[in-house]
Amino acid sequence: MDAAIACEGLEKTYKNGVKALEGVSFKVRPGEIFGLLGPNGAGKSTTVRILATLTRPDGGTASVAGCDVIGNPAGVRLRIGLVAQASGVDKWATGRENLTLQAHLMRVPAGEIPSRVKTLLQWVDLTGPADRIVKTYSGGMKRRLDLAMGLVNEPTVLFLDEPTTGLDPETRAALWRDLKRLRQERNLTVLLTTHYLEEADHLCDRLAIVDHGKVVVEGTPAELKARISGDTVTLEVGGESARAAALLKPLPGVLETIADGSRAIVRADRGASAMPLLITTLERAGITVSSSTLSRPTLDDVYLHHTGRRFQGEGEAGSEPAA
């Protein structure tokens, strides 16, 4: 396979008229962790639902593990694991019972189920509490059980839709370690959706930034940040951000200015040296700068550069109701 996942021009409009996808295209190489990064409502979950054959696209093509999602959905389902945003475990069953039922549903040969369940419980460090009901598990334990359930059929491709939402930082970091170990030990292809910049930067081999149903840029985190030259200076100027951005744009060394809410954001060569001139120019024009910060390019700056605004969460528009 040249690509474990391939999308070309995916389109999707929901019944309420919201256009969730407008020509999404990307490829995921076998054995890599690929991220779809974007705020809620960007189209990430819709893309995963299409790739997992849970909904049909209105246009475009997609294949997973060599199987067309429209022409051979059964083949796709045999080759994938899916960990959705909402936990799929039965809280009134034990961890072992959840995994055993999932194995039966995924048509794992009956003779292999006990050993596979045992191995997965060991892998996600749930052997001790395996026979306790899931209602007594912590959030991190439930998420690890979700991950084990997604692996019970030994998939070629694993979809993780916002897998760490709601987890505390320590539990989130532990799950990151598990995913990296999973990729290393099983050469599994992972498609991860996230709205955490740090998660995408730390975990993904490559990623695509998705905004309003479109892929705006794609590459490794390092490549994407390297394309943003200069330093970022953020100036808090209240309601004067548009005027401030216009005043600063012609100054020497300024590469780009963006008005973002109450802030004027400036990319400049040698930002530390440029900052005094930026502030002085604004104050002479009667614009008060209440605070200023200087930073090297981040994924937030990449998002800002390609969309014209800072990364932030938004409501999940147009998503289908849970079944």
pLDDT value of position 126: 94
Q: Would you place residue 153 in the very low, low, confident or very high pLDDT band (cuts 50, 70, 90)?
A: very high
Cα–Cα dist 75/56, whole Å: 15
Residue 254 has pLDDT above 90, yes or no: yes
pLDDT in tens, 190-230: 999 988 888 999 999 999 999 989 999 999 999 998 888 78
C-beta separation of 159 from 82 below 8 A: yes
pLDDT value of position 317: 36
34 Cβ contact partners less than 8 Å away, ≥ 6 residues apart: 5, 26, 28, 189, 190, 191, 192, 204, 205, 206, 207, 208
Task: Give phi and psi for 257, each to the nearest 5.
Answer: -130, 145
Tokens for 318? 């147009």
Q: Would you place residue 318 in the very low, low, confident or very high pLDDT band (cuts 50, 70, 90)?
A: very low
Q: Note the pTM of the prediction, 2 decimals.
A: 0.80
Residue 129 has pLDDT above 90, yes or no: yes
Q: In whole angstroms, how far apart are CA 213 and each of 45, 46, 112, 119, 319?
A: 10, 9, 42, 39, 12
pLDDT value of position 226: 83
Q: Is the dihedral of CA 124, 129, 135, 137 positive or negative?
A: negative
pLDDT value of position 196: 86
Mean pLDDT for the stretch of residues 15-40: 92
Cα–Cα dist 56/89, whole Å: 25
pLDDT in tens, 134-145: 999 998 899 889
The mean pLDDT of the chain is 89
Q: Which residue has the higher pLDDT, 319 or 86?
A: 86
pLDDT value of position 312: 66
pLDDT value of position 321: 34
pLDDT in tens, 46-84: 999 999 999 999 999 999 999 999 999 999 999 999 998
pLDDT value of position 296: 85
CA Rg value for the chain: 23
Cα–Cα dist 132/13, whole Å: 43
Residue 323 has pLDDT above 80, yes or no: no
Residue 117 has pLDDT above 60, yes or no: yes
Cα–Cα dist 225/257, whole Å: 17
The DSSP annotation for 14-64 comes to -TTS-EEEEEEEEEE-TT-EEEEE--TTSSHHHHHHHHTTSS--SEEEEEE
Q: Would you place residue 41 in the very low, low, confident or very high pLDDT band (cuts 50, 70, 90)?
A: confident
Cα–Cα dist 150/158, whole Å: 7
DSSP state of 303: H
pLDDT value of position 1: 55
Q: In whole angstroms, how far apart are CA 81 and each of 63, 139, 243, 284, 287?
A: 15, 20, 51, 60, 54
DSSP state of 235: E
| Structural domain spans, the chain | 5-222, 229-296
C-beta separation of 220 from 206 below 8 A: yes
Q: Would you place residue 178 in the very low, low, confident or very high pLDDT band (cuts 50, 70, 90)?
A: confident
Residue 22 has pLDDT above 60, yes or no: yes
Torsion, CA 77, CA 75, CA 101, CA 52, rounded to 10: 0
CATH classification code of 229-296: 3.30.70.980
**Strand (E) or helix (H) holding 199:** helix 197-203
Q: Would you place residue 40 in the very low, low, confident or very high pLDDT band (cuts 50, 70, 90)?
A: confident
Domain 5-222 homologous superfamily, CATH: P-loop containing nucleotide triphosphate hydrolases (3.40.50.300)
Question: What proportions of the chain, in percent to the nearest 5, are helix, strand and coil?
Answer: 35, 25, 35
Residue 276 has pLDDT above 80, yes or no: yes
pLDDT value of position 314: 41
